[in-house]
Amino acid sequence: MNQRRTSLFYMANLGSEVMRLQSARGKPLDAQASLSRCMSILNEYEKTETTPSRKPEISMLRRVLADFGEGKGEFDVTEDELEDYFMPFARRFLAMH
């Protein structure tokens, strides 16, 4: 099946990869690979997203995920908060398919 990949598709998949990133904490190679996939998904998302007002949010999300993945602690974001952010995208995507 060759479905069109929408911004919703990418955000739902990004949420899944962020869960992998959380699981990889304490495993530097796995965490780096997952963070790299997160950034790749964000790059693809940016190609599909046409709403200019979302660009600042995505820019901040990129910074938060990099900080989280690298364990720097610049942003005080918990695993639960990341899950709460991404869950609506996954639910909406699944409801459509």
Question: Does residue 62 have a pLDDT over 50?
Answer: yes
pLDDT band at 3 (very low <50, low <70, confident <90, very high): low
In one-letter notation, the amino acid at residue 1 is: M
Whether the CB-CB separation of 5 and 43 falls below 8 Å is answered with no
Which candidate, 30, 3, 8, places its Cα nearest to that of 19? 30
Average pLDDT, the chain: 93
What are the domain boundaries of the chain? Answer: 7-96
Tell which wins on pLDDT, 9 or 1. Answer: 9
Spatial distance between the Cα atoms of 64 and 70, rounded to a whole number of angstroms: 10
pLDDT score, position 50: 85
In 16-84 the beta strands, taken as DSSP E runs, fall at: none
Q: What is the pTM of this model?
A: 0.89
